[in-house]
Structure 1
Amino acid sequence: MNDLPEPLVFRPAETAVELPAPDPITEAAVRRSLGRRRPLHGQGNEQVDRLDLLAEALTPELTALVVLWLGGSRRASHDTRIGYADDLLLWADWARRELGHERFGLDLHRGEVTMWLTCQQDAGAAASSISRRLSTLSSLYRYAAGWGLPAVCPISDDDHRPKFHRGRRATSARVLDADQVEALIAAAGDVRDALIVGLLYTGALRVSELCGADDTDRHDEGRRTWLVVTRKGGKSVRVPLETTVAELLDLYRAMRPAWTGTGPAPLVADANGGRLDRHDVTRLLRRLARAAGIPRPETVGPHALRATAITDQKRRGHGAEELQELSGHADVRTVMIYIDDDGRAERVAALTDDLGRVMTAVPRHLKSPG
């Protein structure tokens, strides 16, 4: 991204609000956190810094505001920043195609959001995805308003917010069997592939936690190796590494491509030595799933390994609090989704039968003959 304009001035009809330009340190931190991805409609497979893609898609004023927004402590999570950036790129792409906006700015009105919603629904987008993309935009509008900028959020709870069930749905991550995870590992063609599967599964890691981890986040204490990962909300926690996974990590570090970027080297790199992103990991897992002969390999992704790990441990008798510790969910109610939906029908039937103890009091003459 080229130098950002300074100062940035938003000019409504009667007043001008001056917004300071992001400092180089904040911009560099956001750029590093966002990483790279392939353009939505680019040629070839070359990856580009997300911040450069945003600078091309957004107005200069909004680009600067987004850097400040993503650089704030409330959006410190690596996964949150990337999710917000990708959602904004989708909004900008839609506004370019449907509204003819060369660059996206905070100037949408309510009717245009209704039009966007219709397009999303016609395209078959899940209600949860629609809700997340609306939340991204409304969060940015709130941030702009906090600076005193004349940006009125066009999103209406009545007209635009879809209602959806937050339990596991048909679109939730697939849950594999443990033997299928073993088949993924057995299909690994090199140390890195096996390491990625092992880290995601045995640590029940989010893909953002894996991709955002640096080599300096690995620590040895006695016979145990630990990995410091950044959870949602920006909280850093230590995750223990399973012994074989730690051994694979040692092997991989000895052969890892040289890091030529700024800042600490990534824990796991792509083939060119750059930082992995979730798309790289998804492609890798689906390639392994095809090689392992797992049905519907296109449904195997990073979150499938996390969901499988949590479900596996639930089935082995561990309770909600232990699963919360494993998964790093801030709210135990989220963990309950895995517990509630795994064998739910059988459990509810058993509870119903148990409650049926009182039904022995039904008088004999009221019961059907025989």
Structure 2
Amino acid sequence: MTLPPRSAPAPSGQPEVEGTAPPPKLLDRMRIHLRTRHYSIRTEEAYVDWARRFILFHRKRHPQDMGAAEVEAFLSYLAVERHVAASTQNQAKAALLYLYKQVLGMDLPWLDEVIQAKRPKRLPVVLTPAEVRSLLMHTEGTPGLVIQLMYGTGLRLMEALRLRVKDVEFARREITVREGKGNKDRVTVLPENLIAPLQAQLQKARALHEKDLAAGLGRVLLPHALAVKYPNADQAWAWQWVFPSPVRSTDPRPDVRTGELLERRHHVYPESVQRGVREAARRAEIAKPVSPHVLRHSFATHLLQAGYDIRTVQELLGHADVSTTMIYTHVLNKGGRGILSPLDAL
């Protein structure tokens, strides 16, 4: 869906200047604005999609012609009729906030007053060590290795998939997470049991990379403007993905040097790992809702159960506040906060 440009027409009797490109459409402006500020492709897609839904919901009216009532109506529709989660509603609000304040440059005080959905406080789903063992026994292939890595290191799904060769240090048994949540770097442990499987994975990844180089390709996406500063770094082995996709695809973002759309080999799609977790949980007959993030919860809880300091676990997870890590203490010792039920004392 595209919107008509909001630029004013040329004065009556005055022809438009030939050879000048028309101003970009609103959603294109938003996309360019997000890319200029180095937002991730996933955030870009989400924010542009929420702006598109907001405009379509109000029958293609331009956001400049709308205000607090229309934003409230849209967010209420999401909560009341679509029954979306509070986090989804808040993401929609954040996208509209960005559209008005950053793209349109409209400093609207009412936007900060738009109601913020209150996120419920939920305890995380945590697997027992026996359930984790059963889950891992039913995984296979590259998704299975990613699943083992997530449980063994506490990485988020996208952090695991975005690992590059240079970030895996076998000698020191550590993994460096670059630009994790909150744009922070951190170091976590590399399990000894994964050294051999990861080395085998890197051999397969290198074979794919050499095949791409022979075809005149092999340029991986680099963060920010590193491709301009170091023209050949995107072909270097150190910058390649640890888990490359088996197929090549056209990058939706143009190359920073040439402006062309390049054919690249991206990392493994997150959907394949999510599907692998669901299938493994089904075959293992685990009666809990299991997602890739559950492995991160289980990693933190099992470390605390093993007696590790909560500050250490906080650093491994990359939490800014230890209060976030404290939520994993709910399953320590016995269930029910370690209390012996009076029924068991009879």
Using structure 2 for the length normalisation, give the TM-score. Answer: 0.68
The question of whether the paired residues in 1 share the 8 Å contact of 2:161 and 2:268 is answered with: yes
Greater mean deviation of Cα atoms: 136-145 or 243-252: 136-145
Per-residue deviation, 1:187: 1.2
Secondary structure of residue in 2 paired with 1:205: coil
Match of 1:265 in 2: 240
Match of 1:194 in 2: 144
Match of 1:19 in 2: none
Match of 1:325 in 2: 315
Aligned counterpart in structure 2 of residue 64 of structure 1, from 10, 32, 53: 32
The question of whether the paired residues in 1 share the 8 Å contact of 2:301 and 2:331 is answered with: no
Label 1:289 to 1:319 Cα distance change in 2 as closer, same or farther (>3 A): same
Match of 2:280 in 1: 288
Per-residue deviation, 1:10: 8.2
Q: Return the structure number with greater relative CO, CA threshold 8 A, min gap 6.
A: 2
- How many aligned positions are there? 277
Q: Which amino acid aligns with 2:272?
A: D
Aligned counterpart in structure 2 of residue 246 of structure 1, from 195, 215, 220: 195
- 2:121 corresponds to 1:163: no
Unmatched segments (≥5 aa) in structure 2: 9-23, 210-217, 221-233, 248-264, 341-346
Label 1:280 to 1:117 Cα distance change in 2 as closer, same or farther (>3 A): same
Unmatched segments (≥5 aa) in structure 1: 1-8, 13-55, 76-80, 351-370
Secondary structure of residue in 1 paired with 2:111: coil
Per-residue deviation, 1:290: 2.2
Match of 1:126 in 2: 85
Q: CA RMSD in A?
A: 3.4
Secondary structure of residue in 2 paired with 1:59: helix
Match of 1:3 in 2: none
Secondary structure of residue in 2 paired with 1:286: helix
User: How far apart, in 1, do the equivalents of 2:186 and 2:321 lie?
Assistant: 16
Using structure 1 for the length normalisation, give the TM-score. Answer: 0.64
Identity %: 22
Per-residue deviation, 1:314: 2.2
User: How far apart, in 2, do the equivalents of 1:280 and 1:123 lie?
Assistant: 27
User: How far apart, in 2, do the equivalents of 1:101 and 1:331 lie?
Assistant: 42
The question of whether the paired residues in 1 share the 8 Å contact of 2:164 and 2:240 is answered with: yes
Per-residue deviation, 1:66: 1.7
- Once the two structures are superposed, residues 235-281 of structure 1 have per-residue CA deviations (whole angstroms, 9 ceiling, x without a partner) of 22232211111211111122236244433321112332531243332
Per-residue deviation, 1:199: 1.1
User: How far apart, in 1, do the equivalents of 2:279 and 2:25 lie?
Assistant: 32
Greater mean deviation of Cα atoms: 336-345 or 305-314: 336-345
Per-residue deviation, 1:193: 3.0
The question of whether the paired residues in 2 share the 8 Å contact of 1:281 and 1:302 is answered with: yes
